A and B are shown apart, each in its own frame.
Chain A
Amino acid sequence: MRLSRSARVVAAAAATALALTACGSGSGGDSGSDKITLSVSLFGNFGYQELYKQYEKDHPNIKIQERTADYNAHHRDLATHLATNAGAADIEAVDTGFIAQMREVGKQFTDLGTERESEYLPWKWQASLTKDGQQIGYGTDVGGLAICYRRDLFQQAGLPADRDQVSAAWASGWDKYIELGQQFTKKAPKGTAFFDGGGALYNAVIGQAPVGFYNPDNTVVVSTNPEVRKAWDLVVKAIQANLSAKLVESSPEWNNGFAKGQFATIACPAWMMAKIKDQSKAYAGKWDVAAVPGGGGNWGGSYLTVPKQGKHVDEAKKLAAWLTAPDQQAKVFTTQGLLPSIPALYDKPEVGALKDPFFNNAPVGKIFTTAAKELKPQYQGPRAGDIQTAIRDGLLRVEQGKQSSDQSWTQTVSDVERLAK
């Protein structure tokens, strides 16, 4: 009761603030008779269902329609809609892996202005800013990094299962993580690997590097940046130590892997927690969250954009701003576990002190806000998402025993060069 009232007050305040900044054409709030339908196109679960209801209640003339597709299909559809100048939703979500590509065609999107700059993590704000200073997207969440693990499996393998002990065991870096994995494998239950798959592990490792696949001038540095190869070698080492369940993230078999307990740990940006909860219901309370080896990093996180081709650009801008406003981000974190991209929230009790019963009451608020504070921002170039896929395929070739690490690396580099051409 108290929560909903305060949220309503905030919503009203936000709406008033926005009404002041919005330009005059066809202002929404007053003309109650004409209902406007706003479409919101997302990939995966952003945790907005309850928020829509509230927004619709506060804005009787607005009806919100959500459509979701899977990650790849969503971004491909968005590109097609931009190309043909038709069919895009009023609000379109864009993931970190694709935001730079969209930023390059910034003229297709509505400029969201600079009013909210001070709220955001600076690197998050920068990442969706075009060269000429146009803001194409409001940040929703950031990834942050942790490791989610199955404490029951750790216990069965004779490893320490307490999260502080686990965090301490690999605090010095990924080599310790691999060592622990080797200990795990010796006594692990049959059919259980240490982690889900090379591609996913790679994303976490490279997410910690100060420079990833791109220099800030948009040149691809995959073949020259030693961090990229270092992360590759590390993952190959883990694969060759037989620690990988050889599953591709988000594939049906990967989903199956949760239910069948095929792996004991998974690189865990905050948004991954929602996926684990969806796929692993039978193991509620047996999952736990530990700190990531080797300090903070980032994997994923999204933006809400407003394509120019929409019919209700002004209303869409307001809704996008409201959905990403501090109070809503805090709410999405408590319900869905998506880590806010607004740092002022990190010290708020409802965020920083949040515990999650699914993860054995782990202090996920503290773990992820610490990770976010330690996070070294990494520049994402136009084809970052596709490069990630190319590297995943390269590591998969090693997992499948089709190629040696060096052979696969050579092919991966040439694939990346082809993508970046």
Chain B
Amino acid sequence: MALKATLNRLDAKGSPYLYVVPFFLLFGIFGLYPLIYTGYVSFNDWNLLDGGEHQWVGLANYREMLQDAYFWNSLGNTLSIWVLSTVPQLLAALWIAHLLNHKLRARTSLRMGVLLPNITSIVAVTIVFTQLFGRDFGMINWLLGLVGVGPIDWQADTWSSHLAIATIVIWRWTGYNALIYLASMQAIPHDLYEAAELDGASSTQQFWRITVPNLRPTIIFTTVISTIGGLQIIAEPLLFAGTSTPTGGSDRQFQTIALFMYEQGFREFRFGYASAIAWTLCLIIAVFAIANFLLTRRIANDEE
């Protein structure tokens, strides 16, 4: 009897650790090791074409990066595209989730429907949108022409290219976030709404007073996730350029950090420099994720 009790206790205490071990093993191999190796590479002058030959240069790559106008340019572009995509995306997701939370006909298929953009291939999505934003024959310019606005060369300018790329991101990720919000909305006790209705609260009031405060942890989660994704954005600006050159437009007007890293690593073959950029990007994301977490927590607290 005593043995069985001990075993039970061991099972209860020990097995959870056993269950999470595979994750940490995988993380160690595919996450931690590349991270450390990239860190090591970033302290070297390393030409990719030369194979294994390289030379230790200490912090030189980082020093160069901080003085590199193209690095700062790509950082600015990344932040701009991130803000332009994340804010409207999360607001729209919240709104869509709210709508889907009502009793609707064909509810399940509608709910599945919002996820469709997310499961479509990112390459296909970007190519379609690049056509829509085409300068000469794009549908958006055609629509603008109907209301008397001249054609816009979407790729040529900073603001227009950022807007176009942000649109692609929004289209792709809004439904995904909406589903997360919806799942979390369903956990809100229904009597809260019933009580509010009895008190005469409108649908909008219910949304802001009941739904949003209850969703706080979920909003924090989606904001952090969107930040991580937004700062790493690479496929959309690469494909938006149309010719798979990684400079992000004629004047690097939509070159993001990830794209800049890719250019340095796989066009200029500067393995060490690209690794320094990669590590810096990792740090920036960490800082942003923490700042985001603190900020969104405070906002939600204030509302209460």
Contacts and interface: CB of A to CB of B under 8 A. Distances in A.
Interface of A: 70, 72-73, 76, 79-80, 82-83, 85, 101, 104-105, 108, 246, 248-253, 256-257, 260, 262, 386, 389, 393-394, 396-397, 400-403, 411, 419
A401 B48 CA distance: 37
B203 interface: no
B269 A83 contact: yes
Contact of A251 (B51, B243, B247): B243
A83 B51 contact: yes
A267 to B, nearest CB: 17
A397 B136 contact: no
B250 A400 contact: yes
Most buried by B among A262, A396, A411: A396
B302 interface: no
Interface in B95-135: 127, 130-131, 134-135
Nearest to B50: A105
B153 interface: yes
Interface in B124-162: 127, 130-131, 134-137, 153, 156-157
Contacts of A251: 242-243
B243 A250 contact: yes
22 contacts: A70-B244, A73-B244, A79-B269, A80-B266, A82-B51, A85-B51, A105-B50, A108-B49, A248-B243, A253-B135, A256-B136, A257-B136, A260-B136, A393-B249, A394-B250, A396-B250, A397-B251, A400-B250, A402-B156, A403-B251, A411-B251, A419-B268
A101 B49 CA distance: 9
A76 B246 CA distance: 11
Given A83-B50, A249-B243, A402-B251, 14 more contacts: A72-B245, A73-B244, A76-B267, A101-B49, A104-B49, A253-B135, A256-B137, A260-B136, A386-B267, A393-B250, A396-B250, A400-B250, A402-B157, A419-B268
Nearest to A394: B250
B156 A83 contact: no
Q: When A and B form their complex, which 3 residue pairs have the shortest distance between CB atoms, in order from nearest?
A: A251-B242, A396-B250, A400-B156
Given A79-B49, A82-B49, A402-B250, A253 B134 contact: yes
A220 to B, nearest CB: 14
Contact of A83 (B49, B242, B244): B49
Nearest to A80: B266
B134 A256 contact: yes
Most buried by B among A76, A83, A251, A419: A83
Nearest to B249: A393
Contacts of B131: 252
Nearest to A70: B244
Interface string B8-40: 000000000000000000000000000000000
Interface in B34-84: 48-51
A104 B267 CA distance: 16
Contacts of B48: 79-80, 83
Contacts of B249: 393
Contacts of B250: 393-394, 396-397, 400, 402
B49 A105 contact: yes
Nearest to B127: A252
Contacts of B51: 82-83, 85, 108
Contacts of A80: 48, 266
A402 B245 CA distance: 19
Contacts of B127: 252
Contact of B242 (A248, A386, A402): A248
Most buried by A among B49, B249, B268: B49
Contacts of B134: 252-253, 256
A249 B241 CA distance: 12
Contacts of B269: 79, 83
Contact of B136 (A83, A108, A253): A253
A79 B244 contact: no
B244 A72 contact: yes
Contacts of A394: 250
Given A85-B51, A253-B136, A400 B153 contact: yes
A209 to B, nearest CB: 24
B242 to A, nearest CB: 4
Nearest to A255: B242
Given A105-B49, A396-B250, A400-B250, A389 B266 contact: no
B51 to A, nearest CB: 6
Contacts of A262: 136
A192 to B, nearest CB: 12
Given A79-B49, A400-B153, A419-B268, A393 B247 contact: yes
B136 A72 contact: no
A401 B130 CA distance: 21
A104 B268 CA distance: 14
A83 B249 CA distance: 27
Nearest to B243: A251
A281 B48 CA distance: 42
Contacts of B244: 70, 72-73
Interface in B212-259: 242-245, 247, 249-251
Contacts of B50: 83, 105
B26 to A, nearest CB: 22
A396 B269 CA distance: 25
A72 B49 contact: no
